[in-house]
Structure 1
């Protein structure tokens, strides 16, 4: 069980975790694309293309991002076990919601997300594919979310859970992530590519890792 508390230091720590995992999700796509295609594709903050787009093997890179995300959710759920310290449990809780699970669960209803795109490309955009993708994603996401819900010790637990599920990570990470995408892609700010990755993306990743190192202790708000 953990007690949640929102402080400005906690927000900084959660932002770093959220930005780090959002970036890692995209990098997993990019590096998987290199492995399956044999050469680098192109990566921005919110978009990637492989060097072998259009070939079935390119979809391995598309699936790689969500697979990484789901694994991180389950690692986060594992860290909520009582045998771990309060800090570790707070870290695990943050890891679950830093993966933006609601996006993964809702977007396929609108025929969006990596999982639906790749599966529809491989097997056709049929009703069976549509509902199969939705059901599989929900089956994967529900167990760690249930564990996160049960871990909340605060009063009005359902509201705290919904706040983290539907609002908190979007408020902290979303504007910065999309703003950086706009700067690099549309304003061509630091858009020079290194191994297919925009320079602004690389700079942001380095700064995020450094900031995470100095702020990670604050993910337990009662240590702050």
Structure 2
């Protein structure tokens, strides 16, 4: 999901600008001169959150399915798109959502007001899927499980992706640009992750479906 989020950024940027910008595992940019030449450049920033929240809401919808496997995928879609990460970034005044908010509202509101407006929108979009997932669980202390799903992926991303993989990339390891303007290390890493996801998908079903409230 992290790579899909970044990929939609650069793909929309490519469609708008006509060229690929530079990127790593979690930071991307438009190619030189694009923002000055294309007034719609900000849509490339908006595309990432739109995709992530769309997956969260699709996951929330799938939680209503009578099929336990569909429920398991729905639950995973919500938290693999890092809802708390999206919310916490806005609280800090950062993230894609704030970039778009500042571009659209910068001449009308103060910085604090823009953060509050953006946070309201992000909470409206992010809290319903989390709440639905919480109501679905039958574990003892379900709030503890939800807290773990909200925070542990962020810790993993910080350590493994930002500190680990990005460090390799910045040191030049497989940094040559390949498909879709993406460094080879990212493409190879994403391919391996997809392989493991497909190979271990049975665990996703068996681990999650035992803890779902069958009345939902």
The two structures have a TM-score, normalised by structure 2, of: 0.86
Q: Write the mapping of 1:18-33 to structure 2, written as runs, cut at 5 A.
A: 21-33=1-13
Structure 2 CA distance for aligned equivalents of residues 157 and 199 of structure 1: 40
* Structural mapping, 1:194-205, within 5 Å: 194=178, 195-205=180-190
Rounded to whole Å, the distance in 2 between the matches of 1:155 and 1:77 is: 21
Superposition RMSD on alpha carbons, in Å?
1.9
Which among 8, 32, 50 is matched to residue 67 of structure 1? 50
Greater relative contact order (CA < 8 Å, ≥ 6 in sequence): 1
Asked whether the 8 Å contact 1:56–1:122 carries over to 2, the reply is no
Moved over 6 A (4+): none
Residue number in structure 1 paired with 2:62:
79
Query: Is 1:90 aligned with 2:62?
Result: no
* Aligned match of 1:148: 133
Q: Matches of residues 40-55 of structure 1 in structure 2 within 5 Å?
A: 40-51=20-31, 52-54=34-36, 55=38
1:182 partnered with 2:167: yes
Per-residue CA deviations over 1:92-139 (Å, capped at 9, x if unaligned) read 111111111111111112110001012213321624322111100000
Gaps of 5+ in 2: 210-216
Kept in 1: contact 2:10–2:28 (CA 8 A) = yes
Pick one of 114, 117, 120 that aligns with 1:129: 114
